[in-house]
Chains A and B, each alone.
Chain A
Amino acid sequence: EAGVAQSPRYKIIEKRQSVAFWCNPISGHATLYWYQQILGQGPKLLIQFQNNGVVDDSQLPKDRFSAERLKGVDSTLKIQPAKLEDSAVYLCASSPAPGSNYEQYFGPGTRLTVT
């Protein structure tokens, strides 16, 4: 079974520029998550999708971050404009369903450096 795919793996941009990350979840997984992991910290949930609908985006900085999952499969996370404090690894995860019995499977992440 193929795992969660993410691209790019690394990205370096200057502050105030825009950037987008892509995630392809495990086939058949209805629930998709984006996490932000700042160096030395645990991942923090940014947004959770159930199919193509948003379940929880309470911790997403909506003035600069946006995410979509238009067809309920792939997802993109965008930052516009980027700030220095956005430097982090952005992790995508998926699970078969949102219930607590379902394990989340994580992708390798995209490491973003904002200079």
Chain B
Amino acid sequence: GESVGLHLPTLSVQEGDNSIINCAYSNSASDYFIWYKQESGKGPQFIIDIRSNMDKRQGQRVTVLLNKTVKHLSLQIAATQPGDSAVYFCAEKKYGNKLVFGAGTILRVKS
């Protein structure tokens, strides 16, 4: 079956360092991916998205990289701050706006 999953369940980084969160997907036909941030007690919040015709997309302090050869995408957060502490999910957007989420990575920022 198709799935979207993550390599590392927990990532601890020092404040100010860069963070890299990874995600693997199995459906080579996937063409649209999204990263979400979920803080405790809240719903997922959109961070950044990327289409399969792109290798890289940048936002404010965040960059998403897509490697279609190995079916892998990553989220890079520059100068990680305590407010970045959350669970991060990659999700695949399918026909009809249906989202398929991975299991998530916990990001802990140490001050």
Given the contacts A48-B96, A102-B97, A104-B97, A42 and B43 also touching, CB distance less than 8 Å = no
Interface stretch, picked from A71-79, A80-88, A91-99, is A91-99
Complex Cα distance, B96 from A103, in Å, reads 12
Given the contacts A4-B43, A106-B44, A106-B45, A42 and B97 also touching, CB distance less than 8 Å = no
B101 touches A43 (CB 8 A): yes
Q: Which residues of A contact B43 (CB under 8 A)?
A: 4, 91, 93, 106-109
Tally of A-B Cβ pairs under 8 angstroms: 56
Q: Which residues of B contact A104 (CB under 8 A)?
A: 46, 97, 99
A45 within 8 A of B: yes
Complex Cα distance, B98 from A69, in Å, reads 18
B96 touches A43 (CB 8 A): no
The 8 Å CB contact of B98, one of A56, A97, A107, A108, is A56
B97 touches A100 (CB 8 A): yes
Closest chain A residue to B91, Cβ basis: A42
Given the contacts A93-B43, A108-B42, A55 and B96 also touching, CB distance less than 8 Å = yes
- Chain A: residues with CB nearer than 8 A to chain B? 4, 31, 40-45, 48, 55-56, 91, 93, 95, 97-100, 102-104, 106-109
